[in-house]
Amino acid sequence: MIILQYVLGYPSKQVANIMGINAGTVRTHRRLARKRVATKLGIDLGDDEEKE
């Protein structure tokens, strides 16, 4: 999912179609993954959540 969006540049809806899941689920997983990575790297994302 992360590769599809950030490396290959697919939008959430297309990732959802490829994976057979809801676009909202894609966005939720992406947000949670970003938070985990930021925590591991010691980065504060603040309120800068992605909007799509």
pLDDT tens for each residue of 1-43: 889 999 999 999 999 999 999 999 999 999 999 999 999 999 9
Instruction: Indicate the pLDDT class of residue 52, thresholds 50, 70 and 90.
Output: very low
Rounded Cα gap, residues 13 and 40, in angstroms? 28
Flag whether 52 is in a domain.
no
Where residue 11 falls (left for φ over 0; alpha for ψ -120 to 50; beta otherwise) is beta
pLDDT value of residue 45: 86
Q: Which domain holds residue 30?
A: 2-41
Count structural domains, the chain.
1
Predicted confidence at residue 42, as pLDDT, reads 95
What is the distance, to the nearest Å, from the Cα of residue 30 to the centroid of all Cα atoms in its chain? 2
Instruction: Output the pLDDT for position 6.
Output: 92
CB 26 within 8 A of CB 19: yes
pTM check: above 0.85: no
36 vs 48, residue with greater confidence: 36
